[in-house]
Structure 1
Amino acid sequence: MSNDILVITEHLDGKVADISYEMVGKAKELASAWGGQAVAVMMGNGMADQANGFDSDATLYIDHPALAEFNPEAYGRVTLALAEERSPRLIMVGNTSVGMDLAAWLSVKLGAACVAYVNGLEADGDTLVATSQIYGGKMAAECAVDGPAVVSVMAGAFPAEDGMGNTAAESVAPPASLDDLKVHFVKLIRPEAGDVDITAVEKLVAVGRGIGSEDNIELAQELAEALGAELAASRPIIDAGWLPKTRQVGKSGLTVKPKLYFMLGISGAPEHLEGMKDAELIIAVNTDPNAPIFDVAHYGVAQDLFDVAEAMLEKLE
């Protein structure tokens, strides 16, 4: 086992995902502590220029038509071959649909530990200490790993700017055959456009499970209108059919960066936090004072959301 770290980067529509830079920055810090190298790995097709944007110790760019978009079989073959060739101490992937597709499979193939929902990584001598969110973000678990590991990192866990740079990428041939794939990318299906693009508005009022029933959505809508905001929601509201999918914020929904993100009855599951962590001002209302959302909110109110919403409407009239 070497002391190197492989970072499996991600991209969509020709744009490198922020999670890639976030992981590279932390990988470089850990690799320095262990006397190894942080190696960014980009798989794609016609993306050589984008591969030069990391502040890694080294960057490998693997170009092939089968790697143009994420394909679990193709990406898995390449990553496994690289890992078997280089014997890295750590493989970092995003805690995303891409990374979660790879992490457990890789760990089994390599006989490595697998730690998911990671939002903290430190080197304690030769030991990797990973902090994970568990029970929907209500608790944190600390895992000490002495051997090789695969970790999936939460978006926003580390600063993206720490991984941005201009390390020249080395173009290498795919280390595994991609000619006999059973899985083929067909097309990217995007959700239908809704009545409003919540990613483009400056103010959002978001509702979660704590709203109680579909009838109570009307109160949240009134508050949104009074604030000059649009209505958004967490996944349980969408799954219940109370609001359309185009209003969903989170890992399986949309990523928003409004000036104001006002939450009613949202506890703060990691999947939701991934979609709104970069909002300029975050205000949370939840009856549970220990809800994880209060760890990220700039202002929090541990009160009944209906009392708060009605009091605000009175003031705004």
Structure 2
Amino acid sequence: MKKVFVLVEHRRGKIRDITFELLSGAAAAGPELNGRVTAVLLGAEVDPFIEQLKPWADEILAVDDSRLKHFNADAYQQVMADLIKDHQPVLTLIPQSGFGMDLAPSLAVQLNLPLTTDCFEIRIENGTLTALRQMYGGKVNAWIRFAEAPGHILTMRSSSFQAEETGKKADVIKVDSPLTEEIACRRFVDYIEAAVGDVDITQAEIVIGIGRGVKEKENMPVIEALAEAVGAVLACSRPVVDAGWLPKERQVGSSGKSIKPKLYIALGISGSFQHTAGLKGADTVVAVNKDCNAPIFGVADYGIVDDLFKIVPVLSEKIKALKG
């Protein structure tokens, strides 16, 4: 039976959420490709990871080697190349992250396999794989159809798929490490967390996003009052970053971050595809915009057509009153 590989991303003893999202996506695509979902786990002392992955895959290929404890593109490339040559997966999914983008291009070149990066949807049509990604600075969405090849490599954005445990019970295959003594031109030294200010919008449960409709920076206190009332963090669309009101780390969308809050409140955001591409993981979207034709209402669960400066102060006071 054919296989669909998903490369497991882990850091500091924890499997990253995007791994489970990609395993769910692979499970949906697997039957159409006649493929067996295979989690590819490279690391050191991997048994705890194996137990976490069992309900998510048909099969786990595990390579346990102390030299794989921390991600190293040179070492991972050598191991992944061997596994792909041995198992011939029809599709290999890799997270679109620093981890994935350090590895995927050189791996594809080594194996002479087609690579498409930064995808956020895949389809199987009549047995043919197509992938959706943006082009020309996010101005165009393009479905990429692959020429016939023995396999394909895709890097996928966070929140491209909803993580849903499939109830599988994976077979575990432990593979001897193929690494030689001299494996890498680089070596791991330490993790240094990037400075993201006072919040990480990708981890927030409630997010308020602001756009051009806020008009000017002096109006920010009105929005901040609502954020404080509901316990939300502030995010924004690209024009707000370009205006210098909020830092780049707060931008949601194709050129910013993908988020998956329980609640997203869009204030004065028109809802271009570049922005809404970052909202696929949101549970509930509420939009306030005075333009009834704004695209944001096409993705919103609840919408209010009105001036946000009439709605937001009232909403803030009502929430404060409910909280006592």
Q: Does 1:49 align with 2:51?
A: no
Per-residue CA distance 1:262-309 (angstroms, 9 max, x = gap)? 1235546668855x6544432234669564x55543234577xxx323
Question: Which residue does 2:121 correspond to in 1?
Answer: 120
| Structure 1 segment 244-255 matched on structure 2, within 5 A | none
Opposite residue 154 of structure 2, the aligned amino acid is: V
Aligned residue identity for 2:311: A
Q: Report the CA distance between 1:8 and its aligned residue.
A: 0.9
Instruction: Name the structure 2 match of 1:152.
Output: 155
What secondary structure does 1:143 align onto?
strand
Higher mean C-alpha deviation, range 105-114 or range 192-201? 192-201
Name the aligned partner's letter for residue 23 of structure 2. Answer: V
SS for the counterpart of 1:206 is: strand
Change (3 A) 1:136 1:156: farther
Q: Counterpart of 2:91?
A: 90
- Summarize deviations over 1:126-179 as a string: whole Å, max 9, x none: 421223344666653222223221112232333322556431422212234363
The 8 Å contact of residues 77 and 107 in structure 2, kept in 1 or not, is answered as yes
Matches within 5 A, 1:291-310: 291=295, 294=297, 296-300=299-303, 307-310=307-310
2-structure distance, mates of 1:261, 1:101: 31
Give, in whole Å, the separation in 1 of the partners of 2:14 and 2:171: 18
CA distance in 1, matches of 2:135, 2:7: 23
In 2: Cα distance, 1:272 partner to 1:188 partner: 31
2: CA distance, partners of 1:182 / 1:31: 36
Structure 1 residue 161 and structure 2 residue 164: aligned?
yes
Give the distance between the partners of 1:83 and 1:221, measured in 2 at CA: 50
**1:59 lines up with 2:57 in the alignment:** no
Question: Whole-Å Cα distance in 2 between the matches of residues 296 and 80 of structure 1?
Answer: 40
From 176, 179, 182, the equivalent of 2:182 is 179
**Structure 1 spans left out of the alignment, 5+ residues:** none
**Identical-residue share of aligned pairs (%):** 32
TM-score computed with the length of structure 2 as normaliser: 0.76
Partner of 2:130: 129
Distance between the aligned counterparts of 1:153 and 1:124, measured in 2? 19
Q: How many residues align?
A: 310
Deviation at 1:65, TM superposition (A): 2.5
1:129–1:142 CA contact under 8 A, matched in 2: yes
TM-score, structure 1 normalization: 0.77
Cα distance between partner residues in 2 of 1:111 and 1:200: 37
DSSP-derived class of the 2:79 partner = helix
Equivalent of residue 218 in structure 2, options 202, 215, 218? 215
Aligned CA distance change for structure 1 residues 200 and 131 (closer, same or farther; 3 Å): closer
Once residues 95 and 299 of structure 1 are traced to their aligned partners in structure 2, the CA distance between those partners, rounded to angstroms, is 31
Q: How does 1:68-79 map to 2 (within 5 A)?
A: 68-79=69-80
CA distance in 2, matches of 1:223, 1:243: 17
In structure 2, the gaps of 5 or more residues are 318-324
Question: Tell me, what secondary structure is at the counterpart of 2:164?
Answer: helix
